[in-house]
Structure 1
Amino acid sequence: MSFRSIVRDVRDSFGSLSRRSFDVKLTGHHHRGKSHGSVQDLHDQPLVIQNSCWANLPPELLFDVIRRLEESENTWPSRKHVVACASVCQSWRNMCKDIVRSPEFCGKLTFPVSLKQPGPRDGIIQCFIKRDKSNLTYHLFLCLSPALLVENGKFLLSAKRTRRTTYTEYVISMDAYNIAQVTYELNVLGTRGPRKMHCIMHSIPNSALDAGGSVPGQPELIHRSLEDSFRSISFSKSLDHSIEFSSARFSEIGGSCNEDDDGKMRPLVLKNKPPRWHEQLQCWCLNFRGRVTVASVKNFQLIASTQPPAGAPTPSQPAPPEHDKIILQFGKVGKDMFTMDYRYPLSAFQAFAICLSSFDTKLACE
């Protein structure tokens, strides 16, 4: 029997089980008072619950089945079978927690909570965003093909834009909690060259890029519900052209990375990679390695900033290689179509939120 057949049988078995009622035996009902006898018998008689045979598989066999399935189903849509295994019962769910690794180590998006976990350290996750101007909505998809303009992809997140008097709100996550602040330098009509970005990640310490560093407060592999993970995110503009956005990324599992007495918990600061001037094209250029094909003021690449905090001495040594890697790149490939590639330490949700801020900062030019 193939692994797909096993998963299909498990799903059908538990689907029929959920539709059955529990078999409860009530005795002595005719000899006692109606209300008293019914309540008393419920306490005296145990519930007889029918369990599926799949819930009682030996742990060694279950481990081998899920491990082989996880290794064979590497891409979507076939990876949905791994998600189905985690939905069978508690024992299957616990086994999936032990086998399926987070995107940081496997480079795959499997469960909904993967959208809130850091991307891979040794690679990137390629996504694309579709914009619907008529409905003010933005949809994030996982690329299933190396091709740029793919119409089919694995849906990940959706954002709805709502303009307020003093800010713009994108409904994609939960409670108000600061995770980052993006600052755009004033550049009317492009008179000051390429637009400059400055992104402060309040929920990620600067030490996350050091050797052995990590992002604190990671959520569990399988969250209790997707609705508890995403509700709304809001942007607010200030006079210095900065945009603060808030969400529930770490509202329940951690706190912001404020500076302590020793300065060890400074937040990670991202800046846009400076472009080079192309003499033949007479424009500023960035190497997107074929992932961006249309020139736009929205195109950007973010790298870690090595600028020391105010008052600290300037380091004489060059920045480590981890700080030179492109953490997030975003660019236009067609009408209302944009690519978004991210890696550690950003999550898909954080990268999506930063890219949404680019849509909301159109300074007199496209």
Structure 2
Amino acid sequence: MSFKSLIQDMRGELGSISRKGFDVRFGYGRSRSQRVVQDTSVPVDAFKQSCWANMPPELLRDVLMRIELSEDTWPSRKNVVSCAGVCRNWREIVKEIVKVPEVSSKLTFPISLKQPGPRGSLVQCYIMRNRSNQTYYLYLGLNQAASNDDGKFLLAAKRFRRPTCTDYIISLNCDDVSRGSNTYIGKLRSNFLGTKFTVFDAQPTNPGTQVTRTRSSRLLSLKQVSPRIPSGNYPVAHISYELNVLGSRGPRRMQCVMDAIPASAVEPGGTAPTQTELIHSNLENFPSFSFFRSKSIRAESLSSGPASAAQKEGLLVLKNKAPRWHEQLQCWCLNFNGRVTVASVKNFQLVAAPENGPAGPEHENVILQFGKVGKDVFTMDYQYPISAFQAFTICLSSFDTKIACE
């Protein structure tokens, strides 16, 4: 029996049981004077009444493992997600079987977007830009032209201009990109010149991370705001572009200080923090904090100071790979392995900056590359130790106008 027919059979059985329970409870099909009401003190589990409840755990695990191994790419991989949504028992087994992207190189659940990418290989994605509403969409796939199903949607970001800065709100829902959405997972904020950026996560990456209260988060203390709004702003990265007013220094120069990732993560055997669950905090259970400036002294020193300040604290620092000048083409060039086809000042490759001494082979690996392939289509490839969320925010910083950098 194929997996498709298996799911249809299961849905049909569960649906018939659910309809029968609904009819008995509300007395449909009976006269008004002979209504029968289900005893609410006795819980009814439709799944336990089906034949699937009698499946031995060993057999169930073997079936789910075969499904997980056979579905390598989207859209067929949605069958794995469907199995996780059958019931609690199935969900726990699927969560145990499905490995993190670091091991499996697969993005399955939403939490995979917050987990580091695979080691030794790049996850290939692309970004679609909508100029009319200043919205950016991240998809999993080679590019728009090569994807038969237009790719698997991952994240969406919307740009909001402020008097002194620019915010990029990031959401799991392409139709609801707002700070008050339940699918809000973080944001990117720039300074007035667009030369320095801070990446905020809606939940802490490391235990004991201190929350940062911005001006917008002060509004969350008002009673008119819905308690569903996630009120955490945890700085996880700082991005800075070197000033280049006259353009005499060549292409853009950028560096990223990853607050949540140690510098040893790029070394053999090194590890990076891995989130295991998406948690949206509410005002009711969120601890009280005293309000303070949106940028701490440490944050300002890391974003405005040299990379050595961050390296002294053992943080991972990413810098853009220096392009070479091509005499025949009369332009700056980088080897994107065919992933970039259009020349643009936005194109870049990021590698790990060495802490002390000469750079090793691990510092030559491209951790993130971003480039233009069409008018509003850009490729984004990333790998361990950064996540899809972190890579997306870094690429969003390249879209912002930087008059002082080029």
Q: Same fold (TM over 0.5)?
A: yes
Label 1:68 to 1:62 Cα distance change in 2 as closer, same or farther (>3 A): same
1:134-145 matched pairs, under 5 angstroms: 134-143=132-141
Cα distance in structure 2, aligned partners of 1:64 and 1:47: 30
Residue of 256, 267, 285 corresponding to 1:199: 256
Cα distance in structure 1, aligned partners of 2:326 and 2:274: 43
Cα distance in structure 1, aligned partners of 2:62 and 2:165: 52
Stretch deviating more after TM superposition (49-58 or 78-87): 49-58
Give 1:188 shift.
Answer: 2.9
Label 1:307 to 1:194 Cα distance change in 2 as closer, same or farther (>3 A): farther
1:191-246 CA-to-partner distances (Å, cap 9, x unmatched) read 221110010000111111122211124324xx46899xxxxxxx99x999x69xxx
Cα distance in structure 1, aligned partners of 2:51 and 2:237: 48
Residue 297 in 1 paired to residue 345 in 2? yes
- Which residue number corresponds to residue 348 of structure 1? 388
Cα distance in structure 1, aligned partners of 2:372 and 2:149: 15
1:1-366 matched pairs, under 5 angstroms: 1-14=1-14, 20-21=21-22, 46-50=42-46, 51=48, 52-143=50-141, 152-172=150-170, 173=185, 174=202, 175-188=232-245, 190-220=247-277, 223=278, 266-308=314-356, 315=357, 318-363=358-403
CA contact (8 A) 2:351 2:364 kept: yes
Label 1:87 to 1:192 Cα distance change in 2 as closer, same or farther (>3 A): same
Give 1:94 shift.
Answer: 1.2
Label 1:9 to 1:115 Cα distance change in 2 as closer, same or farther (>3 A): farther
Give 1:364 shift.
Answer: 6.8
- Which residue number corresponds to residue 32 of structure 1? none
Cα distance in structure 2, aligned partners of 1:270 and 1:207: 13
1:92-132 CA-to-partner distances (Å, cap 9, x unmatched) read 11111221111111111111111111100021110000101
Cα distance in structure 1, aligned partners of 2:281 and 2:101: 17
Cα distance in structure 2, aligned partners of 1:141 and 1:153: 5
Stretch deviating more after TM superposition (15-24 or 135-144): 15-24
Note the residue ranges of structure 2 that are not aligned, 5 or more in a row.
Answer: 26-36, 171-184, 186-201, 203-231, 283-293
Note the residue ranges of structure 1 that are not aligned, 5 or more in a row.
Answer: 25-37, 228-234, 244-257, 309-314
Label 1:95 to 1:239 Cα distance change in 2 as closer, same or farther (>3 A): closer
Cα distance in structure 2, aligned partners of 1:358 and 1:145: 19
Give the TM-score, by structure 2 length: 0.69
CA contact (8 A) 1:55 1:92 kept: no
Give 1:9 shift.
Answer: 3.0
The secondary structure found in structure 2 opposite 1:88 is coil
Root-mean-square deviation (CA), in Å? 3.3
- Which residue number corresponds to residue 30 of structure 1? none
Label 1:63 to 1:224 Cα distance change in 2 as closer, same or farther (>3 A): farther
Cα distance in structure 1, aligned partners of 2:53 and 2:143: 36
Give the TM-score, by structure 1 length: 0.77
Q: Aligned letter for 2:276? A: P
Give 1:10 shift.
Answer: 3.2
1:327-358 CA-to-partner distances (Å, cap 9, x unmatched) read 00000111011000000011111100000011
The secondary structure found in structure 2 opposite 1:190 is coil
Cα distance in structure 2, aligned partners of 1:77 and 1:120: 20
1:267-317 CA-to-partner distances (Å, cap 9, x unmatched) read 110000011111111111100011001111110000000144xxxxxx2xx
Label 1:63 to 1:150 Cα distance change in 2 as closer, same or farther (>3 A): closer
Cα distance in structure 1, aligned partners of 2:11 and 2:322: 52
Q: Aligned letter for 2:154? A: L
Cα distance in structure 2, aligned partners of 1:196 and 1:272: 6
Label 1:11 to 1:303 Cα distance change in 2 as closer, same or farther (>3 A): farther
The secondary structure found in structure 2 opposite 1:105 is helix
CA contact (8 A) 2:243 2:405 kept: no
Label 1:12 to 1:287 Cα distance change in 2 as closer, same or farther (>3 A): farther
Cα distance in structure 2, aligned partners of 1:56 and 1:23: 25
Cα distance in structure 2, aligned partners of 1:226 and 1:129: 29
Cα distance in structure 2, aligned partners of 1:180 and 1:288: 24
Q: Aligned letter for 1:210? A: E
